[in-house]
Amino acid sequence: MPLGTLDRTPPPFFRQGPSAVSKLAVCAALAVFMMVADTRLGLGTPVRFAVATALYPAQWLVMQPVNWINQSRAYFSMLGSAQEQAEAARVRLAQQAARSGQVDQLMLENQRLRQLLALRERLSSPAQAAQVLYDAADPYTRKIVIDRGLMHRIAPGSPVIDAEGVLGQVTRTFASTSEVTLVTDHDQAIPVLNTRTGLRGVAFGDAGAHAGALELRFMAANADVQEGDLLSTSGVDGVYPPGLPVARVSKVERRVDSAFARIFCEPLGRVAGTLHVMVLTPVTGQVEPRPAAPVPEPTASSKKAVRK
Amino acid sequence: MMMNRGQQLLLPANPLFIWTTLILALMFNWVQNMGLWGRAAWVPDVLALVIVFWSVHQPLRVGIVSAFVLGLCMDVHQSALLGQNALAYSVLSFLAITIHRRLLWFPVPSQALQVLPLLFATHLIEMVLRMATGGMFPGWSLLLAPVAEAALWPVVSVFLLAPQKMAPDPDANRPL
């Protein structure tokens, strides 16, 4: 048997290094510290940013064959389906043409009326288009990754919409990608307005049995909400511009034993499988800051009370 | 090294090959996420499997610290809780190192069965951590992930041991 067949360097005899248990203890402690820093202290961002920047070239490399396959699949997709899509788009365009013709006039009218009543101007939010790269792999949350980041001046907190409605909100930004938390995420809340009644509420992402849906929470059991109601953003949060469609009420459960109704909604934005999105600039900067609580003036009666 | 009777003597493992396979496994996980299935709970974590494999076969070269670093890369890619995969992979590598002396005495299908509890523990750690920090329950298909990984163990064993099973003196009659 020739030399070099077996591993001829014997394991080190004296310098064994730290034992496996001690290595595990150090690594586990470090991991737990990182989890605490990430969730409680907010220190995880720089670590994440550094690792993400280092990994980006490799991720880009992996993305290329995926993109080629997707593009070639789109290229070889049937002519018929392309024609169908074009036809559907034309029908929608025709449907919207009548409304969009009125919008300019209504905007003007709205502006005049607001000037007349000395109301504040409606907020406008500039937008930029982005492309969805992939669904974030973590099955415990609902997030997607888009191809615009700090280099394109995406700010954390920006609302993200697609052609149908609100998708979610940018929660983390990296150099050239950002993470968008979808409205169906368990921790995501969005203030909405029932367009039929004007009733305001807050919709939360629904965990559990209705995953991929929203729940309108804290609505009184006798609140006027019906199946099929359209919910749009109310704009009271100072983040989302008002009037973007969010969800449609799919089921209302009124229970005797609860003071609140359980209201389930289907998101209108295509949370699973949209490709192109718009990232809006949050209206936070345009809203005036909340006035400070007024300091109570000491009144005459209270002075008397002090004297006594 | 004391070995099972009738087992082939292996060539020394090339560290370059070990690290290439680890990084390829990481990239394969990314491809599964970006191109194949997107976000799904049952997706087999190939990187975890390759970490177990090298921790069992080459515990002096691949151990807990390497597993920790690779886990951190997975965390950032998944945009999961920072340190979740790092902790799970560290524990996985530790468990693999504790059984590495006895595991290789068994035939490969039996090895797969013994690796299954380790992989199950990895996913359990991740799930407990995420549920404790307020994540959504991903569904019962999560139970399929360790089973799928254990089913891949024979495949991984064949591919990752192939370079070490080559002929020590290749000639015209036996090129590999």
Instruction: Kindly state whether residues A68 and A210 are assigned to the same domain.
Output: no
**Residue B22 within any structural domain of the chain:** yes
What is the ipTM, given to two decimal places? 0.84
Percent above pLDDT 70 for chain B: 96
Instruction: Kindly state whether residues A172 and A267 are assigned to the same domain.
Output: yes
**Residue B50 — very low, low, confident or very high, per pLDDT cuts 50/70/90?**
very high
Contact A38 B98 (CB under 8 A): no
Q: Tally Cβ neighbours within 10 Å of residue A70.
A: 13
**Residue B10 within any structural domain of the chain:** no
Comparing C-alpha atoms, which of B62, B126, B144, B125 is closest to residue B97? B62
Does A275 contact B at CB distance below 8 Å?
no
What pTM was estimated for this model as a whole? 0.81
Instruction: Kindly state whether residues A146 and A265 are assigned to the same domain.
Output: yes
What mean pLDDT value characterizes chain B? 87
B6-20 per-position pLDDT tens digit: 677 788 888 899 999
Domain count, chain B: 1
Instruction: Kindly state whether residues A138 and A281 are assigned to the same domain.
Output: yes
The pLDDT assigned to A287 comes to: 65
Which residues form the domain of A51? 19-76
Strand pairing class (A200-205; A276-280) = unpaired
Instruction: Kindly state whether residues A203 and A276 are assigned to the same domain.
Output: yes
The pLDDT assigned to A286 comes to: 67
Top-confidence residue, A152 or B176: A152
The pLDDT assigned to A308 comes to: 46
| Closest CA–CA distance from residue B113 to any residue of chain A (Å) | 24
Q: Residue A193 sits in a domain of what CATH number?
A: 2.40.10.340
Distance CA B121, CA B60 (A): 23
A3-22 per-position pLDDT tens digit: 555 566 666 777 777 888 99
- Spell out, as residue ranges, where chain A has pLDDT lower than 70: 1-11, 119-124, 207-211, 285-289, 297-308
Instruction: Kindly state whether residues A278 and A156 are assigned to the same domain.
Output: yes
**Residue B59 — very low, low, confident or very high, per pLDDT cuts 50/70/90?**
confident
**Residue B175 within any structural domain of the chain:** no
- The residue from A36, A54, A76 where one domain ends is A76
A121-141 per-position pLDDT tens digit: 666 678 888 988 888 888 888
B102-117 per-position pLDDT tens digit: 888 888 999 999 999 9
Comparing C-alpha atoms, which of B41, B53, B1, B46 is closest to residue B24? B46
Distance CA A295, CA B56 (A): 70
Nearest CA in chain A to B73: A51
Which residues form the domain of B154? 15-163
DSSP 8-state class, residue A228:
T
A-chain residues within 8 Å CB-CB of B19?
Answer: none
Q: How far is CA B2 from each of CA B9, B28, B104, rounded to the nearest angstrom?
A: 11, 35, 11
CA A80 to chain centre: 34
**Residue A85 within any structural domain of the chain:** no
Instruction: Kindly state whether residues A174 and A265 are assigned to the same domain.
Output: yes
Distance CA B93, CA B101 (A): 14
Radius of gyration of chain A (CA): 27
Give A160's contacts (C-beta < 8 A, 6+ positions apart): A130, A146, A166, A167, A168, A169, A170, A180, A277, A278, A279, A280
Domain count, chain A: 2
Element (H, E) at A217: strand A214-220
CB pairs under 8 A between A and B: 155
The pLDDT assigned to A81 comes to: 83
The pLDDT assigned to A298 comes to: 65
A-chain residues within 8 Å CB-CB of B48?
Answer: none
Distance CA A94, CA A111 (A): 27
Distance CA A55, CA A70 (A): 23
**Residue B7 within any structural domain of the chain:** no
Q: Which of B64, B80, B81 is opposite residue A24, by nearest beta carbon?
A: B64
| Closest CA–CA distance from residue A4 to any residue of chain B (Å) | 8
Question: At CA A14, angle to CA A11 and CA A17, rounded to 5?
Answer: 80
Contact B137 A208 (CB under 8 A): yes
**Residue A116 within any structural domain of the chain:** no
* Residue B174 pLDDT > 50: yes
**Residue A162 within any structural domain of the chain:** yes
**Residue B5 within any structural domain of the chain:** no
**Residue A94 within any structural domain of the chain:** no
Radius of gyration of chain B (CA): 17
The pLDDT assigned to A285 comes to: 65
| Closest CA–CA distance from residue B34 to any residue of chain A (Å) | 5
Say if residue B32 is exposed, middle or buried (CB neighbours under 10 Å; 0-12, 13-18, 19+): middle
Element (H, E) at A132: strand A127-135
Contact B76 A1 (CB under 8 A): no
**Residue B116 within any structural domain of the chain:** yes
**Residue A114 within any structural domain of the chain:** no
Comparing C-alpha atoms, which of A171, A172, A211, A165 is closest to residue A192? A165
